[in-house]
Amino acid sequence: MPFDFLPPEVSTPNDLDLLVLRRVRDALTEPGSWARGIYDLGNRHCAIGWMQVFATGGHQIERISALYIRPVLPWSLVLFGRRATSATDAVILFNDRQTRREKVVAMFERAIRRAERMERTS
């Protein structure tokens, strides 16, 4: 089956999204794992770069960004006068504006809590 590689606790799209969010958060907590201004540089990745490592594709990255991450970002996400045009773009802009990876990890923590709340209410 196409999704046999998934752990048994993954039975819904929300479960899969939570798995990706947690794996990205865990990867970002490792020293030397975070990049900004570039998707990947060897074993270092930005937030979207890590999502590309763990997600099933671009549609899942955009869904995760739209449902869980963008709602927990600052409302006035602006970089050099440019506003985010998509949820994925908002994640990129947030990542690249940070000077410490802990702030990006905290963003994923907030997104995970949001996803868990949404799972309980569905």
Could you give the CA distance from residue 40 to residue 38 in angstroms, rounded to a whole number? 6
3-state secondary structure of 4: coil
User: Nearest to residue 48, comparing CAs of 96, 97, 99?
Assistant: 96
pLDDT value of residue 84:
64
pLDDT value of residue 8:
66
Measured N-to-C along each axis, helices 101-121 and 87-97 cross at an angle, to the nearest 10 degrees, of 150
Please report, in tens digits, the pLDDT of each residue of the chain (122 residues total).
Answer: 345 566 666 667 788 999 999 999 999 999 999 999 998 999 999 999 999 999 988 899 999 999 999 899 876 654 444 666 788 988 998 999 888 999 999 999 999 999 999 877 86
How much is the pTM? 0.85
pLDDT value of residue 2:
45
| Count of other CB atoms within 10 angstroms of residue 15 | 15
Q: Are 47 and 95 in contact (CB under 8 A)?
A: yes
